[in-house]
Amino acid sequence: MGRLALNGMERRVEPREAVRQPVRVYYGEKLGLWADCELRDLSASGAKVHLSSIYKLPPRFILLLHQTGVAYEVVLKWRRGDLAGLSFEERHDLETTQETHLVNIREAWIGLRPAQ
């Protein structure tokens, strides 16, 4: 069940699925910085991740889902301690993407993806 607003109404547009999955965030100049974290919930428009608060996330960054080969361009919506709420701006399938700014992330994913 989603979080309730003060008036008791659900604030989320779509339901979120609870998950526990390793993911990685990429940020910084040329997306050269990264941190491993855990995906905690997921919906069509956003996600919540658990990432140590020692990592200072910028307003926009990339979220890589290793298992599915999907990279999301995300906006940081909130941060409370080790949890962060993200809104998806764009989705990229790393099997087929031709986006030049994602070349390094695609190469990292190829090296990290589960054996097929």
104 domain-assigned: yes
10 domain-assigned: no
Token reading at 73? 């361009």
Token reading at 95? 């099997």
Tally the domains of the chain. 1
Helix (H) / strand (E) element for 75: namely: strand 70-80
State the Cα–Cα distance between residues 83 and 80, nearest whole angstrom. 5
Token reading at 24? 């990685």
pLDDT at 114: 66
Tens-place pLDDT, residues 74-87 = 999 999 999 999 99
pLDDT at 11: 59
Q: How many CA atoms lie within 13 A of 110 on its CB side?
A: 10
Instruction: Give φ, ψ of 94 to 5 degrees.
Output: -70, -15
Give the pTM: 0.86
Tens-place pLDDT, residues 45-58 = 999 999 999 999 99
Average pLDDT estimate for 30-40: 96
Q: What does the mean pLDDT of the chain come to? A: 89
CATH code where residue 33 lies = 2.40.10.220
